[in-house]
Amino acid sequence: MFPSQVVVMHGPHQASASRLTIFAHLFGILAFILMLVWLLHYRGGIEYDSYDGYRVFNVHPLLMFCGFIFLSGEAMMVYKTVKAQHFVQKVVHMILQLGAFVLGVIGICAVFKFHDMANIEDVYSLHSWIGIATISLFALQWLAGLSTYMFPQTDITRKTLLPWHVCGGRTLLYMSIAAALTGLMEKATFIGLSHSREARLLNFLGLSILLFGIFVDLSVVLARYV
């Protein structure tokens, strides 16, 4: 679970953080559209129960992006985008992060299923190492956040752990982005993309994912530290 509390912002930085969330949403939506175009138009579609292993594989990048990057980013910005009491914001934050984890687990199951269908070794690449580390730490982060901020704890405990919780969430977001970008590069290498429309689309997809993460992170930084 990513940053669980965000203090009230002061001065001109409040408006800046709000504008940054708008840019984050735009790049997140753009990345989602580009992902769908790539998987549906160039890669043959998306279907977890298909007999076509490549359609099964396509579930993986879609759900990993929707979960660990898009939903997690939205959860980090929830204290700016959801106008409600702080407890309600915390609940929405927790639910979004839980949804991100569930999508991530299904996405990993999809790639393992594809590997079984194609007789490919599991967890052999840098992309897979980063991905497994990310989902493992993500689960620990969510459980730690749940026990600290959704159950009774002393104010001292919450204040002491909050900077670690925030920094851990930001780190996990960038780990997710690193996994996504290395995964796109790995896939492009496997299918032999070079100078083509699909290759350029993947480049724009990767840039959109990176910019989404940057604007999410900047909005959190401005809201908390500046």
Residue 3 has pLDDT above 80, yes or no: no
pLDDT at 80: 76
Comparing CA positions, the residue from 59, 164, 75 lying closest to residue 115 is 59
Which structure tokens are listed for 33? 């559209």
Each residue of 42-71: pLDDT tens digit?
Answer: 999 999 999 999 999 999 999 999 999 999
Residue 124 has pLDDT above 50, yes or no: yes
Tokens 């279907």 belong to 47
Residue 224 has pLDDT above 80, yes or no: no
Each residue of 159-206: pLDDT tens digit?
Answer: 899 989 999 999 999 999 999 999 999 999 999 888 899 999 999 999
Contact in structure between 46 and 59 (CB atoms under 8 Å): yes
Q: What is the 3-state secondary structure (H, E, C) of the chain?
A: CCCCCCCCCCCCHHHHHHHHHHHHHHHHHHHHHHHHHHHHHHCCCCCCCCCCHHHHHCHHHHHHHHHHHHHHHHHHCHHHHCCCCHHHHHHHHHHHHHHHHHHHHHHHHHHHHHHHHHCCCCCCCHHHHHHHHHHHHHHHHHHHHHHHHCCCCCHHHHHHHHHHHHHHHHHHHHHHHHHHHHHHHHHHHHCCCCCCHHHHHHHHHHHHHHHHHHHHHHHHHHHHCC
pLDDT category, 151, cuts 50, 70, 90?
confident
Each residue of 62-106: pLDDT tens digit?
Answer: 999 999 999 999 999 998 777 888 889 999 999 999 999 999 999
Residue 215 has pLDDT above 70, yes or no: yes
Share of the chain above pLDDT 90, in %: 73
pLDDT at 226: 47
Residue 4 has pLDDT above 80, yes or no: no
* pTM score of the predicted model: 0.89
Comparing CA positions, the residue from 170, 149, 138 lying closest to residue 67 is 138
Mean pLDDT of the chain, nearest integer: 90
